Copies of this chain bind each other. A is one copy, B any other.
Amino acid sequence: MKPIERLRALDAEAKLVEHIGAMLGWDQETYMPSAAIDERSDQLALMESLTHDMATSPEIGSILAELGSNAEAPGGPESLPTIDRAYLRVMRRKFDQATKLPSELVSEMAKATSLSQAAWVQARKDDDYRAFAPHLSKMLEFNKTVAACLDPGKRPYDVLLDQFEEGAIEAQVASVFSALRDDLVSLLDRILGGPQVDDSFLRRNCPAAAQAKASAYFMKALAFDATRGRLDTTAHPFTTTLGGSDVRITTRYVEEYFPSSVFSTIHETGHALYELGLDPSPDYRRTSLAEASSMAIHESQSRLWENTVGRSLGFWLHHLPALRQMLSPVLDGVGLEDFYRAINKVEPSLIRTEADEVTYSLHVILRFELEGALVSGDLSVDDLPGAWNDGMKRLLGVVPTDDAHGCLQDIHWSMGSFGYFPSYALGNLYGAQWWDAMKAQGLDPKSAVEQGNLGSILSWLRTNIHKPGAIYKPGELVEHVTGNALDPSHFVRYLNDKYAGVYGF
């Protein structure tokens, strides 16, 4: 066995264990009886420690050292095919991330994170930011330490950002977001200056069983392969990968707001299609190269299907009759245009996860600005609520009356995730850029959607985005596929065109 083959075999075994952990986690959220939680936590911890042992095995270290230090020799990276070199990049990165943190730090962090999350749950319930603040400070300190361990030569936030968006740096994201922010704020102003949309019929009571039928219908419409995954229900929708041909998604059925399940199912199906399409080459199945390029690229898939496709007029031209029938009589008397406007209603609100396409990225940009300032020390933990409220006023024109609906709303910081938020908005930008690339490459995605021919869109995404997996860093992928760097103008143009139609200006 060549060293790189042995590396793939070790990697594939670690991935098996990781998928077993995902199975345990999936069951915990879907079907596990409540009293099983104690032993389940121990089962998960055991699988995590096994994954960690496998990811940090000295044998992986020596294969990487051998291939890395021997660049000119036969078998060294320079003589390897591109795909093998990409794989070595991915494995070095993983190995570094797993080995550079002292194990005491990892275990201290795990304990502190668990306390922090519990404190966050309580603080949000009590609307008591002060009770959570010490935990947030600790999470910040841990993150700075992690950044220093991983790469002491780089700015801490850049190191954290890189964990989710390989190769990204704060200054560059800030410049992209700054242009985007101004364009979004001005679009929002125009929208709010005119007559508003009536979406009251979306709140008609709609039984879960009818919504479940619709969810199954839309998964099929998106060509989701039912032999390679399934849909279940949970309190918070998610996608999880239990195997190369086993991706599970979940949704929830809110009887007073059926669009919640329709669009969350389409969103999660978008994530699942990406996971199921990762296939850089037969040799690399079940390896870390058959993984997403980044969280933002993942989000570009879910949001492209949910919004660009799923909230388009053409999509409902094709699918509204079926939805009307499945949800009958909920949509009786609701025409296509009214339905389209209602599901695209723009309204500044306090909660990110409920935001429309225009305001969503503004929520994300606020979080990016604040977490960058927290990590750099420009913003103190004590001053976060004030800064949050100021930012909401500035970007969205609304101010939360309490921190529970303000800076305590998201789980991310409580679990020590700094640098993750930008992915959500970057996903929108990548998605719009893919859409324009399809057009530039001769596909007519708009007509395809109108004709219910989503297969042609999926096929383009499969070839260009899904298949390469982690061969390209996200910045390389966008260059490779579109010939250009990430460019927010695609998204801004898309929104301006769309909302000019929705709001008639």
Q: Which residue of B lies closest to A276 (CB)?
A: B35
**Is A126's beta carbon under 8 Å from chain B?**
no
Chain B residues near A32 (CB-CB < 8 A)? 246
CB contact under 8 A between A46 and B246, given known A33-B229, A228-B36, A286-B39:
no
A:213-267 near B, CB below 8 Å: 225-230, 232, 242-246
Task: Flag if A42 contacts B16 (CB, 8 Å).
Answer: yes
Q: Which residue of B lies closest to A38 (CB)?
A: B245
**Is A19's beta carbon under 8 Å from chain B?**
yes
Chain B residues near A19 (CB-CB < 8 A)? 39, 43
**Is A438's beta carbon under 8 Å from chain B?**
no
**Is A34's beta carbon under 8 Å from chain B?**
yes
**Is A197's beta carbon under 8 Å from chain B?**
no
**Is A84's beta carbon under 8 Å from chain B?**
no
Q: Which residue of B lies closest to A44 (CB)?
A: B20
**Is A23's beta carbon under 8 Å from chain B?**
yes
A17 to chain B, nearest CB (A): 7
A:2-41 near B, CB below 8 Å: 13, 16-17, 19-20, 23-24, 27, 31-36, 38-40
**Is A297's beta carbon under 8 Å from chain B?**
no
Q: Which residue of B lies closest to A37 (CB)?
A: B245
Q: Which residue of B lies closest to A13 (CB)?
A: B46
Q: Which of A36, A230, A232 has the most CB of B within 10 A?
A: A36
A120 to B483, CA, bound (A): 58
Chain B residues near A286 (CB-CB < 8 A)? 39
Chain B residues near A23 (CB-CB < 8 A)? 23-24, 27, 43
Task: Flag if B27 contacts A43 (CB, 8 Å).
Answer: no
Q: Which residue of B lies closest to A226 (CB)?
A: B33
**Is A392's beta carbon under 8 Å from chain B?**
no
**Is A109's beta carbon under 8 Å from chain B?**
no
**Is A47's beta carbon under 8 Å from chain B?**
yes
A226 to B35, CA, bound (A): 9
Task: Flag if A35 contacts B230 (CB, 8 Å).
Answer: no
Number of copies: 2
Task: Flag if B43 contacts A230 (CB, 8 Å).
Answer: no
Chain B residues near A232 (CB-CB < 8 A)? 31
Chain B residues near A16 (CB-CB < 8 A)? 39, 42-43, 46
A24 to B246, CA, bound (A): 13
Task: Flag if A33 contacts B228 (CB, 8 Å).
Answer: yes
Chain B residues near A225 (CB-CB < 8 A)? 35
Chain B residues near A47 (CB-CB < 8 A)? 20
Q: Quick one: CB contact mask for A292-336 with B, threshold 8 Å, 1 for yes?
A: 000000000000000000000000000000000000000000000
Chain B residues near A244 (CB-CB < 8 A)? 39
CB contact under 8 A between A39 and B230, given known A20-B47, A23-B23, A46-B16:
no
Chain B residues near A227 (CB-CB < 8 A)? 33-35
Task: Flag if B43 contacts A243 (CB, 8 Å).
Answer: yes
A226 to B36, CA, bound (A): 11
A244 to B13, CA, bound (A): 28
A13 to B49, CA, bound (A): 12
Task: Flag if B24 contacts A245 (CB, 8 Å).
Answer: no
A39 to B42, CA, bound (A): 24
Q: Quick one: CB contact mask for A163-207 with B, threshold 8 Å, 1 for yes?
A: 000000000000000000000000000000000000000000000
Chain B residues near A17 (CB-CB < 8 A)? 46
Q: Which of A39, A42, A230 has the most CB of B within 10 A?
A: A39
- Contact partner of A246 (CB less than 8 A), chosen from B35, B243, B245, is B35
A37 to chain B, nearest CB (A): 8
A:343-357 near B, CB below 8 Å: none
Chain B residues near A42 (CB-CB < 8 A)? 16
Chain B residues near A33 (CB-CB < 8 A)? 226-230, 245-246
Pick the 5 closest A-B CB pairs, nearest first. Answer: A36-B246, A39-B243, A35-B245, A35-B227, A34-B227
Interface residues of A (CB under 8 A from B): 13, 16-17, 19-20, 23-24, 27, 31-36, 38-40, 42-43, 46-47, 225-230, 232, 242-246, 286
Chain A to chain B contacts (Cβ below 8 Å), 26 pairs: A13-B46, A20-B20, A20-B24, A20-B43, A20-B46, A23-B23, A23-B24, A23-B27, A23-B43, A27-B27, A31-B31, A31-B230, A33-B226, A33-B228, A33-B245, A35-B227, A35-B245, A35-B246, A38-B245, A39-B243, A39-B244, A39-B245, A39-B286, A40-B243, A40-B246, A43-B243
Q: A16-B42, A31-B230, A38-B245 are in contact. List 20 more A-B contacts (CB 8 A).
A: A13-B46, A16-B39, A19-B43, A20-B24, A20-B46, A20-B47, A23-B23, A23-B24, A32-B246, A33-B226, A33-B227, A33-B229, A33-B230, A35-B225, A35-B246, A36-B228, A36-B242, A39-B244, A39-B246, A40-B246
